[in-house]
Amino acid sequence: MYLHLGQNVMIRKQDVIGIFDLDNTTWSFRTRRFLERAEQEGRVTAVGDDLPRSFVLAQEGDGPPSVYITALSSAALSARGERSGFE
């Protein structure tokens, strides 16, 4: 099964590590530092041009995890995941 992140971007549900709300998580220095480092390393994919509301962390192979920044809320992504068989 796949999780649709918007703008025709889909990832396999078994690759998803977590779905995070940007407003709540970016208060943490460590989260901001993680996202900055991932962007510097080219591991961040912006899904669409709208205001970002959440990010999805996905392990797609042996390397470090990928970060998908999307305009969809974490609640909407979680609901989509549940409909597609998230556990």
The number of folded domains in the chain is 1
Tens of pLDDT, residues 46-55: 998 999 999 9
Give the model's pLDDT for residue 85.
60
The boundaries of the domain holding residue 61 are 2-83
- Of all residues in the chain, the percent with pLDDT exceeding 70 is 95
The pair of three-digit structure tokens given for residue 54, joined into one six-digit string: 């959440």
Mean pLDDT for each 10-residue chunk of the chain (87 residues)? 91 94 92 96 94 95 94 91 65
Distance (Å, whole) CA 77 – CA 29: 24
Distance (Å, whole) CA 77 – CA 40: 25
- DSSP codes, 20-69: EEHHHHTTSHHHHHHHHHHHHTT-EEEESSSPP-EEEEE--SSSSPEEEE
The pair of three-digit structure tokens given for residue 53, joined into one six-digit string: 């509301």
